[in-house]
C-alpha cells in the first residue's frame, strides 16, 4: 500500500460556505435556499492537497462526501498490495456513498488527483437526505448507475478490444468527462500519468508509453508533465473503433 494511503490527509477547514455552491449541483438543485442552508450547516468542509486519501478502502463508512472542486481517483488495492485506478470523479459529484450500495465500509480509496475542496456529512444523515430532500435520491442513484455503466463498458472492452482500442477509449472518456479546450486541442483537466492509463486499461506501462509515443509522432496527442492533450479527436475515435 502506498504511503499516501496510510497517512492522514492534509486538510484545512474552510469558512462558512454560501448556498450558491450547491444550488446548481444535481443532488441539491431542486431544493429551496433554506434547505440548502440546513444541509451546509450540517456539513464539514475541507481542502485537501493533491495525492492524499479522502477515505481508504475498507474503512468504516462513517461519512459521505460531495466533491466541490478538483478531481478524485477511485483506487482499488489488489491482494498483493498494488493500487489500480478504477474511475475518475470530477467536481460536482457525490463520493463515498457506501450507504447507497448497502455497504458499511468503503469499497475503494478516494485519492485526490489535484488540490480539492470536499464537503462531508455523517452517514447517519443519509436516510434523512433521501427522505426529505427532493431529487437527492434519484440523482444519487443516477450517478451510481453511470459509474456502474462505465465499469461494465470497461469490462466489455477488456474482453473484446485490442490494447490500442482500450487506451484510445480511456483517453476519449477522460476528455469527455473533464476535457478543456486549449491551444491545439483538448486537454484532460487534471494530472494523469502513463501509469494511470495502464491501470485504467489493464495493460503495461511499456505498452502505453509505446502507443502514446507513436500517436505523438502522428500528431494525434501530446503527452508531457502528467498532461495529455488530444490534438486530433476524430483520429482517436477511429482508433477506438478498431
In the sheet that holds 116-122, the strands lie side by side as 11-13, 44-48, 116-122, 63-69, 94-95
pLDDT 10s digits, 129-180: 999 999 999 999 999 999 999 889 888 988 999 999 999 999 999 999 889 9
Structural domain total, the chain: 2
168 exposed, middle or buried (CB, 10 Å; 0-12, 13-18, 19+)? buried
Out of 156, 171, 201, pick the residue that ends a domain.
156
Q: Which domain holds residue 198?
A: 161-240
Q: Is the pLDDT of residue 97 over 80?
A: yes
Q: Does residue 146 sit in the same domain as residue 90?
A: yes
Q: Is the pLDDT of residue 8 over 70?
A: no
pLDDT score, position 15: 60
pLDDT 10s digits, 29-85: 999 999 999 999 999 999 999 999 999 999 999 999 999 999 999 998 888 877 788
**90 forms bridges with which residues in the sheet?**
71
Phi, psi of 219 (to 5 degrees): 80, 20
**For residue 69, what is the domain's CATH number?**
2.60.120.10
Q: Does residue 45 sit in the same domain as residue 12?
A: yes
Q: Does residue 37 sit in the same domain as residue 148?
A: yes
Q: 9, 54 in Cβ contact below 8 A?
A: yes
Out of 156, 173, 206, pick the residue that ends a domain.
156
Q: Does residue 72 sit in the same domain as residue 51?
A: yes
Q: Does residue 131 sit in the same domain as residue 167?
A: no
For the chain, what percent of residues have pLDDT higher than 90? 75
* N-term to C-term CA, the chain: 36
Q: Does residue 94 sit in the same domain as residue 168?
A: no
User: Among the residues of the chain, which ranges form H helices?
Assistant: 3-6, 20-23, 33-41, 126-132, 136-160, 163-178, 194-201, 205-217, 233-240
Out of 112, 132, 156, pick the residue that ends a domain.
156
**122 forms bridges with which residues in the sheet?**
63
Q: Is the pLDDT of residue 189 over 60?
A: yes
Q: Does residue 170 sit in the same domain as residue 102?
A: no
User: What is d(CA 181, CA 189) in angstroms, rounded to the nearest whole number?
Assistant: 9
What is the pTM assigned to this prediction? Answer: 0.81
Amino acid at each position: 500500500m502506498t504511503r499516501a494511503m496510510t497517512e492522514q490527509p492534509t486538510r484545512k477547514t474552510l469558512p462558512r460556505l454560501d448556498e450558491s455552491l450547491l444550488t446548481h449541483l444535481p443532488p441539491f438543485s431542486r431544493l429551496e435556499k433554506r434547505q440548502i442552508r440546513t444541509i451546509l450547516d450540517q456539513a464539514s468542509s475541507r481542502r485537501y492537497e493533491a495525492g492524499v486519501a479522502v477515505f481508504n478502502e475498507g474503512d468504516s463508512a462513517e461519512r459521505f462526501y460531495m466533491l466541490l472542486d478538483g478531481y478524485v481517483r477511485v483506487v482499488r488495492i489488489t491482494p498483493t498490495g498494488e493500487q489500480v485506478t478504477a474511475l475518475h470523479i470530477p467536481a460536482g459529484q457525490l463520493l463515498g456513498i457506501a450507504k447507497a450500495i448497502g455497504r458499511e465500509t468503503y469499497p475503494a480509496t478516494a485519492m485526490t488527483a489535484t488540490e480539492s475542496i470536499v464537503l462531508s456529512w455523517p452517514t447517519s444523515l443519509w436516510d434523512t437526505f433521501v427522505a426529505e430532500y427532493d431529487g437527492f435520491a434519484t440523482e444519487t442513484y443516477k450517478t451510481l448507475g453511470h459509474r456502474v455503466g462505465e465499469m461494465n463498458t470497461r469490462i466489455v472492452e477488456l474482453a473484446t478490444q485490442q490494447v490500442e482500442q482500450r487506451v484510445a477509449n480511456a483517453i476519449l472518456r477522460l476528455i469527455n468527462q473533464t476535457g478543456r479546450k486549449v491551444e491545439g486541442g483538448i486537454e484532460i483537466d487534471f494530472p494523469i500519468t502513463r501509469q494511470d492509463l495502464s491501470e485504467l486499461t489493464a495493460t503495461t506501462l511499456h505498452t502505453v508509453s509505446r502507443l502514446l509515443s507513436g500517436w505523438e509522432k502522428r500528431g494525434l496527442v501530446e503527452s508531457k508533465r502528467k498532461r495529455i492533450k488530444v490534438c486530433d479527436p476524430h483520429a482517436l475515435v477511429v482508433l477506438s473503433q478498431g
